[in-house]
Amino acid sequence: MRNLPKRIKIFPILVFIIFFSCDSLEDKKGRFLLKGNEKLKENDAKNALSFYSEALELDSTYADAYFNKGLAHIQLNQLEEALGDFSLAIKYNSEYYDAYFQRGLSYLDNGEFYKGREDAESLLSLDASNWHSHFLKGLVEEKLKNYSEALDSFRKASELAPENSDLLVNQATIHFYLKEMNQAQELLDQAEALNPGESNLHNLRSMIYFEEKEYDKALNSVDKAITLNNRQAYFYNNKGLYLLFLGQLEEGLELINQSIKMDPKNPFALRNKGIYYVMKGDKISAIQYLNELNRDYPDMELVKEYLEKAQDL
């Protein structure tokens, strides 16, 4: 099992009303920015980058071009490049709220949690009345396993944006980590009332059912999540795990392998392959997967339990 995706993709399209002559610098760089934004909306990040670079050739201090260039790099999964561009946007506009927010999310994606915390603190200083400030702070504290602080931040964000179902799912996720399943389910019910089409709430509900050994219910919930969003690797990984525990080993392995193809870096999928090999009685393969995970992720659930089972085969 794995947590929800936390990046809220915000691609603000900056519209400029241009009062300059056709040949002015502002007019030229503004046109390149708008062309880049159009390509970004079309998911054509490579061509968007070209237009933003053209704008920056005209003005190397153009903060908006650096910011949107960073967004294009995010679309291309180029985190280091995105971080560099968001930092340049902030360099040339020290109060660039959206740049701090996106850089903070990128730091979290890059495993730089304390840098993400610094950006969350900057957001709170810039605008504590914006729910994004508390949301990023919650994500940081969650990554640092400061669950009480994370829950407090997500609650504050939810108070500022009560119609945002994602923020209820974030709170439910913290309760799930704390094994407070009733509180988590109550929040998921609230989230579903606001937005029944939110795939993450169905995925989290499936994880709760799995913890309660309600494997059929877990499978039903994760199927709802996949129906709503078939692009999330860990939904398939979770479904594969549930199938293993329902005795459908080969069907489960197929989905776990599909998840690994979609996201090769997910250690939970590797754990589930180790569990598969334990269930198949393949001691060597099981230990190969689970030994390494036990070393690198000693707190991951089910790893120690199934490593011991593998060693007893």
CATH 1.25.40.10 domain residues, the chain: 14-94
In 3-state terms, what secondary structure has residue 131? helix
- Is 70 exceeded by the pLDDT of residue 28? yes
Tell me the pLDDT band of 1, cut-offs 50, 70 and 90. very low
DSSP-H helix ranges across the chain? 25-41, 45-58, 63-75, 79-92, 97-109, 113-126, 131-143, 147-160, 165-177, 181-194, 199-211, 215-228, 233-245, 249-262, 267-280, 283-296, 303-311
The two tokens of residue 139 are 């994500």
Q: How far is CA 39 from CA 46, 51, 52, 70, in A?
A: 8, 9, 10, 14
pLDDT at 13 > cutoff 70: no
Q: Residue 8 above 80 pLDDT?
A: no
Percent share of the chain, pLDDT over 70: 93
Output the pLDDT for position 265. 82
pLDDT category at 21 given cuts 50, 70, 90 is: very low
pLDDT in tens, 223-271: 999 999 999 999 999 999 999 999 999 999 999 999 999 998 899 999 9
Structure tokens at 275: 């569990």
What pLDDT, on the 0 to 100 scale, is given for residue 23? 64
The overall average pLDDT reported for the chain is 92
Q: Which fold has domain 14-94?
A: 1.25.40
Tokens of 228: 């709503």
Note the pTM of the prediction, 2 decimals: 0.85
117-168 residue pLDDT tens: 999 999 999 999 999 999 999 999 999 999 999 999 999 999 999 999 999 9
Residue 7 — pLDDT band, cuts 50, 70, 90?
very low
The pLDDT assigned to 20 comes to 41
**pLDDT, tens digit, 9 for 90 and up, residues 103-115:** 999 999 999 999 9
In this prediction, residue 18 carries a pLDDT of: 41
